[in-house]
Amino acid sequence: MKKVIATDKAPAAIGPYSQAIEVNGMVYTSGIIPVDPATGNIPEGSVAQAEQAFLNMKNLLEAAGTDISQVVKTTVFIKEMNDFGAINEVYAKYFTEPYPSRSCVEVARLPKDVMLEIEAIALK
């Protein structure tokens, strides 16, 4: 059975989707963007946006009853591949070995014109 995960400590869905779904002991997040859920503001710059997006992901996983150490796979969508190194430094603050598997792709445009979006799959 699917369980919808929702929290006000991460940006609300801006379309017909759930923030995350839990099924069979796994949590699947939707794409998480760097919107401050308290203010609706988007930080300036790729590093600040990465920090906000990963904080949002951490909060969403905690609302699901798991945590960032249980993430097994991430997908990171970035607007500019030249930001890969800076975003990778923020990523390394949140994940420790064994690191989750990851895909990172450059995309033309993201919701609200943010610089990155991340999604994750985690064990419950």
Instruction: Fill in the amino acid letter for 74.
Output: T
Pick from 101, 106, 121, 100: nearest CA to 32:
121
Exposed, middle or buried by CB within 10 Å (0-12, 13-18, 19+), for 7?
Answer: middle
Instruction: Walk across the sheet containing 101-106 and list its strands.
Output: 3-5, 20-23, 26-29, 116-123, 71-78, 101-106
26 is catalytic: no
**Annotated catalytic residue within 21, 42, 104, 121:** 104
User: Could you give the C-alpha distances from 10 to 29, 48, 67, in angstroms and in order?
Assistant: 11, 16, 14
Q: Report how far apart, in Å, the C-alpha atoms of 47 and of each of 79, 83, 85 are.
A: 13, 8, 10
Q: Give the residue numbers annotated as catalytic, written as ranges.
A: 104
